[in-house]
């Protein structure tokens, strides 16, 4: 795969490094994040991620939080700032993204964030809530496998909050998750995105 055609879900992107500082302003906080080429949405906060962060509610049960597809860290850092008593795990397959997320957490003085490859997450780890802008473009089968894997890590009363573009199949994904036993409903719609809340299997 050539540099210009690499995806953000490439494990070890060889795109020429072009670090930049990004300021993310949300209604309740501001983040200074370093981004780089070869990661997801390096030039601006992805609109879907913004919709998720502006609409997803606080976790309703005690426990650790999970950011699936953490990129350079906007979701994980926002969670750490909003819920300082919580441990946050960010997972991504992109090693450059993980390095950036770790550096951004350190620069922000947030020591509750751990950024890992998926296979590095302990098998017995369970989470009170998942917040994710999932990588839709990896393909339907891979996406389904990814979501089912992490939804199985929810605590019994936990919730996964997912943001998906309407025209990329948010409604059909919600239906499919419900069919798999993960009761899923839409809790917000904004700028062409749906925020979905998915429950563990009964």
Count CB neighbours of 16 within 10 A: 9
Torsions phi, psi of 191, nearest 5?
Answer: 55, 35
List the one residue out of 177, 179, 8, 202 whose CA is nearest residue 194: 177
In this predicted structure, what is the pLDDT of residue 34? 98
Long-range contact list for 13-18, CB < 8 A, 24+ apart? 13/37, 13/38, 13/39, 13/94, 13/96, 14/38, 18/42
Q: Which residue has the higher pLDDT, 175 or 17?
A: 175
CB atoms within 10 A of CB 110: 17
Name the average pLDDT for the chain.
Answer: 93
**For residues 150-160, average pLDDT:** 98
List, for residues 36-52, the tens digit of each pLDDT value.
999 999 999 999 999 99
Contacts of 124 (CB under 8 A, 6+ apart): none
Strands 88-91 and 113-116: parallel
Q: Structurally, what CATH architecture does the domain formed by 46-198 represent?
A: 3-Layer(aba) Sandwich (3.40)
- CA 177 vs. chain centroid, Å, equals 18
Closest CA to 93 of 6, 7, 11: 11
Token representation of residue 22: 């990004």
**pTM (predicted TM-score):** 0.93
Cβ 154 vs Cβ 184: under 8 Å: no
3-state secondary structure of 82: helix
Q: Mean of the pLDDT values across residues 80-94?
A: 97
Q: In this predicted model, what pLDDT tens digit does every residue of 108-144 receive, in sequence order?
A: 999 999 999 999 999 999 999 999 999 998 999 999 9
- The span from the CA of 148 to the CA of 126, in Å, is 14
User: Using alpha carbons only, how large is the chain's radius of gyration in Å?
Assistant: 16
200 DSSP 8-state letter? P
The three-point CA angle 32-99-2 to 5° equals 105
Domain ranges of the chain: 46-198
Indicate whether 1 pLDDT > 50. no
């Amino acid at each position: 795969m050539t540099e210009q055609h690499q995806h953000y879900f490439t494990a070890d992107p060889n795109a020429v490094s072009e670090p930049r500082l990004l300021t993310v302003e949300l209604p309740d906080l501001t983040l200074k994040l370093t981004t780089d080429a070869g990661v997801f949405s390096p030039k601006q906060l992805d609109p879907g991620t913004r919709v998720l962060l502006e609409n997803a509610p606080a976790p309703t049960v005690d426990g650790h939080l999970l950011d699936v597809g953490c990129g350079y860290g906007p979701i994980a850092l926002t969670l750490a700032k909003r819920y300082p008593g919580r441990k946050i795990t960010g997972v991504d397959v992109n090693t450059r993204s993980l390095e950036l997320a770790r550096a951004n957490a350190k620069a922000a003085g947030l020591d509750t964030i751990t950024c890992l490859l998926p296979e590095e997450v302990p098998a017995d780890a369970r989470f009170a809530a998942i917040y994710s802008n999932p990588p839709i473009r990896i393909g339907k089968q891979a996406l389904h496998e990814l979501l089912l894997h992490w939804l199985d890590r929810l605590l019994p009363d936990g919730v996964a909050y997912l943001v998906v573009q309407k025209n990329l199949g948010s409604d059909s994904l919600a239906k499919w998750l419900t069919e798999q036993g993960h009761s899923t409903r839409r809790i917000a719609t904004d700028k062409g995105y749906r925020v979905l809340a998915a429950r563990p299997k009964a």
